[in-house]
Amino acid sequence: MSMFELSGRKAILTGGTRGLGLSMAQGLLEAGVETVIMGSNEKVHEVAKTLSVYGNCHGLAVDLSDADARGKGFDEALNLLGGELDLLVNAAGVQSRHKSEEFPAEDWNWVMEVNLNAVFDYCQRAAQVMLPKGQGKIVNIASLLSFFGGFTVPAYAASKGGVMQMTKALSNEWASQGINVNAIAPGYMATDMNTALLADEGRNAEITARIPAKRWGQGPDMIGPLLFLASDASNYVHGTVLPVDGGYLGR
């Protein structure tokens, strides 16, 4: 079905070296999308080399918490793609856990810089490439904490709530100009970020019991929703936040 065809398109994906981002990168490459993955350190080059068996993959080490570094990183990524960009996936994210009354200001600023400020920055830069040609896809990664608050993660919850509202706001402005801005909200996923929860037998069991699918999500569960939002099949889907949560929010 041609509406799902992605071969030949070009993408930038942040946070592509592990977890959900790594799975999504593999999915894009297998679909024929030339992809620049960004990681926080030089490991990204090894990951890109490994992913190259699936398609045309480039790796860039970019500190998304540094505004100057991420600006240069975006320009370099665009250059690797020959100045063309069809898809931006903002998958990078960080978390810090502390009691709210003790939450360090430096941790708050770091989480907000990577999870929210960098996302807006790259959405804006991507739009400046996409608007002149009248088409493009932007997929942000939100969270179940876009909908509720969690415990000991006020910065993460605030940043992901911001990603959800930002996605809607940008869609309001750019939908009529051919850019689809949407988000995916992963549920409880078996990734490094949730190592503590996975190791807590009681909390793990409590979470699993509430998930109608009766299991935690895996990276490959993100691929189908991403390819849908990246393709022409979603051309009339704007400003939505798609939960990929095994039914958790509906419980």
| pLDDT per position as a tens digit, 78-94 | 999 999 999 999 999 99
Report residue 11's pLDDT band, with 50, 70 and 90 as the boundaries.
very high
- Mean pLDDT for the stretch of residues 65-81: 98
d(CA 116, CA 68): 16
The confidence score (pLDDT) of residue 203 equals 86
161 assigned to some structural domain: yes
Give the residue from 161, 82, 77 showing the smallest Cα distance to 125: 77
Whether 197 maps to a domain, the answer reads no
- Inter-residue contact 116 to 162 (CB < 8 Å): yes
Percentage of the chain beyond pLDDT 90 is 92
Separation of alpha carbons 4 and 183, rounded Å:
18
The token pair at 41 is 């350190």
DSSP lists the bridge partners of residue 138 as 88, 181
Task: Indicate if the pLDDT at residue 169 is higher than 80.
Answer: yes
Residue 37 lies in domain: 2-189+218-250
Structural domain includes residue 205: no
Residue 201 falls within a domain, yes or no? no
Give me the sign of the Cα torsion angle 90, 95, 99, 104. negative
Question: How many domains does the structure of the chain reveal?
Answer: 1
Which is more confidently placed, 92 or 194? 92
Of the candidates 73, 86, 93, 70, the residue with the CA atom closest to the CA atom of residue 20: 93
64: pLDDT strictly greater than 80: yes
CATH assignment at residue 84: 3.40.50.720
Structure confidence by residue, pLDDT tens digits, 97-113: 999 999 999 999 999 99
Which two structure tokens, joined as six digits, stand for 48? 């890109």
Looking at residue 202, its pLDDT comes to: 87
Residue 157 included in any domain:
yes
Q: Which residues are catalytic?
A: 156
Mark residue 37 as left, alpha or beta (left: phi above 0; alpha: psi -120 to 50; beta: remaining). beta
In a domain, 53, yes or no: yes
d(CA 28, CA 56): 10
Rounded-to-integer distance, Cα 30 and Cα 32, Å? 5
CA 99 to CA 11: how far, in whole Å? 38
Is residue 198 in some structural domain?
Answer: no
Q: 175 lies in a domain?
A: yes
Report residue 26's pLDDT band, with 50, 70 and 90 as the boundaries.
very high
Task: List the single range of 146-160, 165-179, 182-196 with lowest mean pLDDT.
Answer: 182-196
Residue 197 has pLDDT above 90, yes or no: no
